[in-house]
Amino acid sequence: MSTKEEKPKKPRRPRQEFTVEYKAQAVKLVVEEGKSIPQVARDLDLTESALRLWVEQTKTDRGEGKPGALTTAEREGEFNWSSQHSKPRSCDGCEESSTVGPSWPPSHVVARSIRRAA
Q: How far is CA 17 from the centre of its chain?
A: 14
Enclosing H/E stretch for 69: none
Alpha-carbon distance of 97 to 114, in angstroms, equals 27
Q: How far apart are CA 62 and CA 74, in angstroms?
A: 13
Q: Cα dist. 103→20, 83, 87, 109 in Å?
A: 32, 16, 12, 11
Helix (H, G, I), strand (E, B) or coil at 6: coil
- Per-residue pLDDT band for 16 (boundaries 50, 70, 90) equals confident
For the chain, give the longest Cα–Cα distance: 57
Q: Which domains does the chain have, with CATH numbers?
A: 17-69 (1.10.10.10), 70-118 (no CATH)
Q: What's the rounded mean pLDDT across residues 24-51?
A: 95
- Taking only the tens place, the pLDDT of each residue in 70-113 is 888 888 876 555 555 554 445 555 554 444 454 555 555 555 55
Q: What is the mean pLDDT of the chain?
A: 76
Q: Give the span between the Cα atoms of 54 and 72, in whole angstroms.
A: 11
